[in-house]
Amino acid sequence: MNFFTAQEQARRRTKWLVLWFALATAGTVVSLYLITGLLIDWYAALRGDDIAVGHELSWWTAAIGSLVIPAGSAYKFMQLSQGGGVVARDLGARRVHPLTQDFSERQLLNVVEEMAIASGVPVPEVWIMDEELSINAFAAGTEPSNAVVGVSRGCLKKLTRAELQGVIAHEFSHILNGDMCMNMRLIGWVFGLLMIAMAGRGILSSLRHVRVRSSGDNKSGNGYLIIIVAGAVLWLVGSLGVFFARIIQAAVSRQREYLADASAVQFTRDPSGIAGALKKIARLPQQRVLSPHASEAAHLLFHGPVGFLFPGLLATHPPLIKRIHAIDPSWDGDLRKVGTEESSERALDGNALVAPFSSLDLCQAGALRQSMTKQGAVSTVAQAKALMFSLVAGDSKALVVQPVTALDAEEQAALDYWWLRSRGMNSAEKIAWMDLAIPTLRQMSPEEYRQFREDLQKWTMNDGQVSIFEWMLHHAINRHLLGAFERMDVVPVRWHDIAPVEDAVAVLLACLCQPSGQASAWSQCAQEYQQRFGRALPHAVADFQQLQESLWVLEQASPDLKNRLLDLCRWVTLLDGTQCNGEREILRATADAIGVMLPPTSVRG
């Protein structure tokens, strides 16, 4: 299975999720109407009142319930649109400072950065749940640009580096294959179904502070009884909605965990890492996540809590033993050996999740990260902005001496430093530095962000023309920072066939043919297009402004069509047998634009 297949599966599951939510909402509302109607009829019969009025009241109760559930989900969706940090804070986590001197936190940051470089994902924010001593982790966010990865304190204390790497690889797979976005939506749906029960519990809780006056008139007592019954009904019916929500939550989550485990093995090439982490969880006594929001985010966790009622039906994760055997079929089931196995590179499961073009190579990413560490660090917003300015400055020493925008002392010093070091960087290194700087740039205020975009535009247009790298950098900034500062709607799938998008494809291929300088590149490309799609390739010229618009069109293509197009783009860049920097940069921006993270290490010449 590849990432495109995984994303297509996630998209289909999201459609089923909407249907399940609609059915659960309908079931909850119908139950609310029936139970309310029965109780009102019973009460009206005792008092000899008009039953028709009771029926009208039950209709109104059901109508209000049908509005409360989607309203609750809409509220939660709006809250979650801010990104994964919302979930991290709800789970009691704190963000790890990039300059932390704590050894275990530093190791965690290194592992996350290596995984980001290997997968082509901008480095997500890293959070730690300090109060959680069990082994657990999560990935949250509506898209890679606002994703966060969180781990429990128990992960840092009880796991080896290889095991921690396996857990982080598992979470990265959720980011890459579309699970993370689906899981965030699931939180919103579940919250909506919780609203009825929450309302009932709120009514019953408020009655603890109400005192009923004793008098000959029973109106006060009857009113008090009606409120109790109403609260009990809401809580009872709402609990049914909660039950539906938990079933949906478990059904959506379980199979994706097997896929994430398999992809973690593919990423790390070491089954013993993630298997060792799972064995340690199985060996330790069951420990629950302490956060009160743990139940609504259970499907996000590396290891979900096991309930006492209907554990097989409501469990958000497969049994630990089955997960371990899926990774390590030769395991004898003896947990006493946990921690004694040596890490080894074994044959990988042919069904494991693989990248579009090549397996993720953590060794190569680790080597690149170590060489980057020797060059310096980007730990402040000023340094991150200066790094971006130096990358678009190119070879212009005059631009560094006399900047086109006002810089403070820290920014000027950082610009001088990074301009010198960026001269010898190849495309892969520049892309990796860009990805590492994204989390720091997310710390800007909205006003700083707007000013930074204006300043970067001035630096880019200083010489009156835009290079391929400058265009790619702008594209990445727009895509990976926009989601952190502004709301980005989910892009719908509109195109399943090549015909509606072939003009956009032609512009993309023209831009890819330009850096090679081969006169015959376009004609060869047209022949390959005809052979693959059975259609003539429309004529187009290389134009970056049109390319930006073309990528927006292609972003709305189906995963299968994206897979075929990206494979064609890869073929074009290798027409002359090698990839130049310009070809790598356009290929990276293309993959990025259509929702595929392309590792810098997989596009090196």
Q: Quick one: which of 346, 205, 323 has its CA closest to 274?
A: 323
Buried b (16+ CB within 10 A) or exposed e, 486-525: eeeeeeeeebeebeebbbbbbbbbbbbbbbbeeeebbeeb
Say which DSSP state 152 is in. Answer: E
Question: For residue 136, how many other CB atoms are within 10 A of its CB?
Answer: 26
Known catalytic residue: 171? Answer: yes
Query: Do the strands 125-129 and 148-152 form a parallel or antiparallel pair, or are they unpaired?
Result: parallel
The span from the CA of 204 to the CA of 4, in Å, is: 49
Render 40-106 in DSSP notation, one character per residue: HHHHHHHHT--HHHHHHHHHHHHHHHHHHHHHHHHHHHHHHTT-HHHHHHHTT-EEPPTT---HHHH
Supply 149's token pair.
């990865």
Instruction: Give me the sign of the Cα torsion angle 11, 12, 13, 17.
Output: positive
Expressed in angstroms, the distance from the first to the final Cα of the chain is 26
> Residue 444 is encoded by which pair of tokens?
């800007």
* R_g of the chain, CA atoms, integer Å: 28
Q: Alpha-carbon distance 179 to 258, whole Å?
A: 12
The CA distance from 110 to 113, in Å, is: 5
Please list the residues that pair with 148 across neighbouring strands: 125, 140
Is residue 185 within 8 A of residue 295, CB to CB? The reply is no
Say which residue the tokens 């994760």 belong to.
317
Secondary structure of 288-345 in the HEC alphabet? CCCCCCCCCCHHHECCCCCCCCCHHHHCCCCCHHHHHHHHCCCCCCCHHHCCCCCCCC
CB-CB contact of 204 with 232 (8 Å): yes
Q: Which of 171, 257, 555, 583 is catalytic?
A: 171
Partners of residue 128 on adjacent β-strands = 94, 151
Q: Vertex 462, ends 457 and 468: CA angle to 5°?
A: 70
The contacts of residue 102 (CB under 8 Å, 6+ apart) are: none
Q: How far is residue 97's CA from residue 379's CA, in Å, rounded to a whole number? A: 9
Distance CA 241, CA 234 (A): 10
Euclidean distance between CA atoms 30 and 62, whole angstroms: 7
CA distances from 595 to 8, 96, 562, 589 (A): 12, 27, 9, 10
Residues identified as active-site: 171
